[in-house]
Structure 1
């Protein structure tokens, strides 16, 4: 597929999103529609659209690429996904009822009610930092694909490609916000799911395999090992580490994250929000298994056709993230290439548009106080919200530029590694607020605790071979971070004389 064809498809795709955005927001572009979709969203639309938000371009490219990574990843990621599923169920049964009970717009106002002003601001700041970095990394992955296979052909610099991508996302989200995104993400998830299914079909056709033969090929390949129980101390792939990491990363990055919870809170009531989470969980597990299958088939295809893993232009090292686009754009026919492009675009922009809306919501509620009775009817709120939305778009641009300079790792592993440090304190804050209702923290110390905890965690991780006999941490590091925050809060707190109302 030529670069010109790719650009034409992207233009048509975003034209469709802009049309949907205009149609939905033309009658109501209020802050209530932007923040909460007027609390009238259909649970099945939210559930289906959340698939695109949760998966992103990382799942679409990096997860299949890691299946055949030199480090021997294979299907180990599915251990993490099983932990994710448990985390989703805990979120649905424990956290969602809590949020609906207090009728929250920003979930971090719960921390204000339970722990205090500085604790509240700390939680909101952690989210803003974590989501900005995480979403920027996810968008970065797609931008480097577009840069390599499209815009380098026209001599367009990397920063201009990033600006273009963010400008397009801003254009169809700045009016309608969540109300628009629930519809556009449903459409984008449809493209994502269709893309992975059709990709499997096309690769199987190229390999002359039917469905049963494809299953057997994956099963008998060197890429299909799922469960790793060897070397608990020294291997980061051990089942217990991956599973527990999956549970607690999900609790932090979904259950304590304004982005995905904002969509759940847009449902009419708790029952519909829980139906959304249960159905979303089932689809999420199946789709990720499909992506791992795509990864195995890609490496089988590459081996038969003599295709090498593309080399990163900056580091000069093989980059598994680029294997899928390399095969789709340069070794498959036009139709599979178009389907891949639509799926990739849908997966990534469904994540970024949702993140920008959640970041805007959190800042407007948690720092500008737009939900306060004295502010809620101010006519200046709408244009303030639009400026906040634009500011976060620019901030994400800066993060992507910085990451492009320093990154040489697989994006999927980098995202979860950083999340272990940035989201960890949120686990500690919410756990303390939920389980210790009769203790009062020294609120003014909480910002320092949220800084010290990740630093202690980093020190522990860096010296784990000395402290714990060559123990190697992976995603379960977030448990350590959250536990340290929790213990520091406990030590600095005191028992209240009377029960907190």
Structure 2
């Protein structure tokens, strides 16, 4: 299919997003931007969060990982289901009881202003790195498939994509994103299903025979039982649970959408419905990855990892499948960046600037500050996307999970300490602990052979980081009785 047709599809898709944004952002205010006026429908939030949780990395990297890791990624998904239950029945009741706009205000109320700002800071670091890594992956593929054929350099492609995202998020924020994410998730999952059906038909298989062919090729193994492996099922399950708690329950972007639902019971329903749908969708992505590996072996395709899916579709499949792939790809692109920029803007305005508490600022000035922060994050996203272009990691899903281990670990440790203990922190200790835990994790990870011999630590790095943070907080704290005048948690 010609690049001109594909570009026209991208432009039409963006026009549809703008129309949705215009419709949803009418009479929007700062409360609409931050929490959608607490009036979002739980079913829309649940479905839209699928796209945010999966993003372009899942769309490209998870199918590409099957060739080297079979279905072992599903071990992480099983752990995530357990983690989502913790979010639904432990964290969400806490957030609703406190009527939070930013979930990091809990840390401020429980452990003080330094904890509030430290939690928000780690979220900002985590979400900025993770979202830009996801954004880079999809922009790179759009560049290779479409935009490079018009002589457009990568930096300009990334800039145009970010301008598109700014145009439909600047006014409406969460109120808009709840609807645009629903549209984008529909496009991504529709593309996934159609690609699976077409590949089965192209190879003369049905679901049962396709599964048998994957098993015969060694592509369908789920559980890794070698305890020395970084992919051992127990490690992956625990890591998956920790990832779900940290990257969903302690993430302002994800929780901002959840707490935009009016009732706690509906927000909990949203979370568990999302978990059930996610389980099925991840299985379907892995099944697609198996089909791609089988098809590549039949056709002599040498691409692997993140480049396998685009190579099969754009070089070997009919034009109409290519069109669907591009629609699904851009549907995966926008949820990975639009919600991130919105949530980062919210966290910076609420947690660091204290915008909601500024009684000396009128609504117009608050809106100007919020828009300035929003534009600043778009510029930062552009710089980091160009940085990932220079790095060009062959499997972005592994890189993103690795980054999460370092940046979400302190968040997990902070919230666990606040919820599970009644202790109070000594003044001045928190910044040192929050920096020391990731640094120790890096030292352990870099010298695993020295410390553990043949044992390999994988995604449980997140849990180690959280445990080091928790231990440091315990050592740097005293029982409540030592602070007779402190506010009760």
1:29 Cα offset (Å): 2.2
Q: Distance in 1 between matches of 2:76 and 2:479?
A: 38
The yes-or-no answer on 1:125 pairing with 2:121 is yes
Match of 2:488 in 1: 500
The yes-or-no answer on 1:291 pairing with 2:285 is yes
C-alpha deviations, 1:2-39, integer Å up to 9, x for none? 2111111000000000011011112x220011111100
Contact 1:425 1:481 in 2 (8 A): yes
Match of 1:312 in 2: none
Contact 1:117 1:443 in 2 (8 A): no
Match of 1:281 in 2: 275
Match of 1:56 in 2: 55
Contact 2:433 2:472 in 1 (8 A): yes
Match of 1:355 in 2: 340
Match of 1:313 in 2: none
The yes-or-no answer on 1:93 pairing with 2:89 is yes
Match of 1:5 in 2: 5
Q: Distance in 2 between matches of 1:76 and 1:370?
A: 44
Match of 1:412 in 2: 397
Q: CA RMSD, aligned part only?
A: 1.3
Q: Secondary structure at the match of 2:415?
A: helix
Change (3 A) 1:466 1:152: same
2:107 to 108, 111, 114: 111
C-alpha deviations, 1:57-98, integer Å up to 9, x for none? 0100000001113xxx11110001111111111110111101
Contact 2:117 2:351 in 1 (8 A): yes
1:384 Cα offset (Å): 1.1
Q: Distance in 2 between matches of 1:250 and 1:56?
A: 15
The yes-or-no answer on 1:198 pairing with 2:182 is no
Contact 2:61 2:397 in 1 (8 A): yes
C-alpha deviations, 1:372-429, integer Å up to 9, x for none? 1625754201111111111111111111111211233310000000110011000111
C-alpha deviations, 1:143-189, integer Å up to 9, x for none? 11111122222221111111111111111111101000101111111
The yes-or-no answer on 1:480 pairing with 2:433 is no
Match of 1:45 in 2: 44
Contact 1:369 1:375 in 2 (8 A): no
1:218 Cα offset (Å): 2.7
1:306 Cα offset (Å): 1.6
The yes-or-no answer on 1:367 pairing with 2:352 is yes
Q: Secondary structure at the match of 1:380?
A: helix
2:366 to 377, 381, 384: 381
Q: Which moved more, 1:332-341 or 1:29-38?
A: 332-341
Q: Secondary structure at the match of 2:205?
A: coil
C-alpha deviations, 1:328-352, integer Å up to 9, x for none? 1221112211111111111121121
1:211 Cα offset (Å): 3.0
1:466 Cα offset (Å): 2.0
Match of 2:249 in 1: 255
Q: Which moved more, 1:328-337 or 1:480-489?
A: 328-337
Q: Distance in 2 between matches of 1:307 and 1:118?
A: 53
Q: Distance in 1 between matches of 2:358 and 2:9?
A: 46
1:150 to 125, 146, 149: 146
Contact 2:305 2:394 in 1 (8 A): no
Contact 1:254 1:260 in 2 (8 A): yes
Contact 2:393 2:399 in 1 (8 A): no
Match of 1:315 in 2: none
Contact 2:211 2:220 in 1 (8 A): no
Q: Distance in 1 between matches of 2:34 and 2:269?
A: 21
Q: Distance in 1 between matches of 2:140 and 2:246?
A: 28
The yes-or-no answer on 1:237 pairing with 2:231 is yes
1:458 to 431, 442, 466: 442
Give the helix-richer structure, 1 or 2. 2
Q: Secondary structure at the match of 1:359?
A: helix
Q: Distance in 1 between matches of 2:209 and 2:6?
A: 33
Q: Secondary structure at the match of 2:429?
A: helix
Q: Within 5 Å, which residues of 2 pair with 1:180-195?
A: 180-195=176-191
Change (3 A) 1:336 1:433: same
Match of 1:326 in 2: 311
The yes-or-no answer on 1:441 pairing with 2:440 is no
